[in-house]
């Protein structure tokens, strides 16, 4: 899709005075308007864009359109981002396990179930709200809704995160994450046993064309995703695996292990219910995907010193592991 500079003199209907314009390529013809626009913008979800279309922030050839309307080659899509909705970030006294802290950053061991930053459906009770109570000078660093947040892990994944306390640290760490100069190692319990003891998965990674809430390797265009994995323990018809990331895409480990035929225990998004009712019961008892961010390493932005932290899996993960071991005996 080609981009055009807006030449419209019409007054804005939303939060930006300048619309971004895109020309539909031949390869995109016949697809839904919201899907094409989501692929083009990248940073805005299909759900949000559907709302923007309904609010009149998107035009197709100068006219209003429905999210499901099919586009043709040469069509011009204009998107004028709506005004940012003001959200009051409130400091909340939520317990945090901080494994390291200095004047520039801190490393947190996030529990499963804690959302990293406010988003639709999670306006409060997040890691950001907890951080504001601990470090009151975080506001504005890295964006109003994500102060200090350099990288994320899923709500139901536990483990290590680094948080920046100032803009210079935020920028430096962000640059290192972008060029993959950090070390991230995950531990997982999976249903099924890999055919080999170790391997490397190198795929494209993008929104699932059939379900925009999910990600997939079966995409025509996407970002590169690389996971190095090895078996730590075979447990009957399950296994404990280690995954070291070369890239950090959303749901990367979950998508790659599912594509390998070994979905995470308890992952209802990318896995199917295990055939063994006892394994199903263990996953149900866990109540989340069995994934833990165990190791995090990076160069300190100020000193340049390599720093590496490790966190053992939490009690619920270990209980599931013990139950699988007992079942395999």
Domain ranges of the chain: 14-79, 97-166, 183-328
CATH code for residues 97-166: 3.30.70
* Interval 17-26: pLDDT, tens: 567 899 999 9
Please, is 79 exposed, middle or buried when counting C-beta atoms within 10 Å of its C-beta (0-12, 13-18, 19+)?
Answer: buried
Lowest-pLDDT range of 42-51, 94-103, 187-196, 198-207: 42-51
DSSP structural state of residue 110? E
User: 């109540």: which residue's tokens?
Assistant: 287
What tokens appear for 56 in the block? 């009149």
Q: Which active-site residues does the annotation give?
A: 154
CA-to-CA separations, 157 to 183, 221, 254, 289, in angstroms, rounded:
17, 27, 10, 7
In this predicted structure, the answer to whether residue 270 has a pLDDT above a threshold of 50 is: yes
Give the per-residue pLDDT at 146: 67
Please state, as a whole number, how many other Cβ atoms lie within 10 Å of the Cβ of residue 24.
Answer: 24
The CATH fold assigned to 14-79 is 3.10.290
Give the per-residue pLDDT at 15: 46
Nearest by Cα to 236 from 208, 204, 265? 265
Higher pLDDT, 167 or 6: 167
Confidence of residue 324 (pLDDT cuts 50, 70, 90): very high
* Interval 229-253: pLDDT, tens: 999 999 999 999 999 999 999 999 9
pLDDT above 90: percentage of residues in the chain: 62
Burial code (b: 16+ CB inside 10 Å, e: under 16) for 285-301 equals ebebbbbbbbbbbbeeb
Lowest-pLDDT range of 112-121, 213-222, 313-322: 112-121
Residues 6+ apart with CB under 8 A from 150: 142, 161, 162, 163, 164, 170, 173, 174, 177
* Interval 34-89: pLDDT, tens: 889 988 887 676 777 877 887 778 989 988 888 889 999 999 999 987 665 555 77
The CATH fold assigned to 183-328 is Pseudouridine synthase (3.30.2350)
Residues 6+ apart with CB under 8 A from 175: none
Give the per-residue pLDDT at 14: 39
Please, is 209 exposed, middle or buried when counting C-beta atoms within 10 Å of its C-beta (0-12, 13-18, 19+)?
Answer: middle
Q: What is the mean pLDDT of the chain?
A: 87
Give the per-residue pLDDT at 121: 67
Lowest-pLDDT range of 79-83, 114-118, 142-146: 142-146
């Amino acid at each position: 899709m080609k981009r055009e500079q807006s030449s419209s003199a019409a007054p804005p209907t939303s939060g930006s005075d300048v619309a971004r314009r895109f020309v539909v390529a031949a390869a995109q013809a016949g697809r839904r308007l919201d899907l094409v626009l989501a692929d083009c913008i990248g940073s805005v979800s299909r759900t949000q864009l559907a709302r923007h279309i309904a609010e009149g922030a998107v035009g197709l050839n100068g006219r209003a359109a429905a999210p499901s309307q099919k586009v043709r080659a040469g069509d011009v899509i204009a998107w004028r981002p709506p005004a940012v909705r003001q959200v009051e970030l409130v400091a909340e006294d939520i317990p945090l396990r901080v494994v390291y802290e200095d004047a520039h950053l801190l490393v947190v061991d996030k529990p499963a179930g804690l959302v990293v930053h406010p988003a639709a459906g999670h306006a409060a009770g997040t890691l950001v709200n907890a951080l504001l109570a601990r470090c009151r000078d975080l506001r504005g660093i890295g964006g109003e809704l994500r102060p200090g947040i350099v990288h994320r892990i899923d709500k139901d994944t536990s483990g290590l995160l680094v948080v920046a306390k100032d803009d210079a640290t935020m920028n430096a760490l962000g640059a290192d994450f972008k060029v993959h100069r950090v070390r991230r190692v995950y531990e997982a319990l999976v249903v099924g046993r890999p055919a080999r003891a170790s391997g490397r998965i190198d795929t494209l990674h993008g929104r699932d064309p059939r379900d925009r809430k999910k990600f997939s390797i079966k995409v025509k265009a996407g970002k590169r995703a690389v996971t190095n994995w090895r078996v730590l323990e075979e447990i009957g018809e399950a296994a404990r695996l280690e995954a070291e990331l070369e890239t950090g895409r959303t749901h990367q480990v979950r998508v790659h292990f599912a594509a390998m035929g070994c979905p995470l225990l308890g992952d209802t998004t990318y896995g199917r219910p295990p055939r063994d009712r006892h394994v199903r019961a263990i996953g149900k008892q866990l109540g989340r995907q069995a994934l833990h961010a165990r190791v995090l390493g990076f160069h300190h932005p100020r000193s340049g010193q390599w720093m590496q932290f490790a966190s053992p899996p939490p009690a619920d993960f270990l209980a599931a592991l013990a139950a699988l071991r007992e079942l395999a005996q």
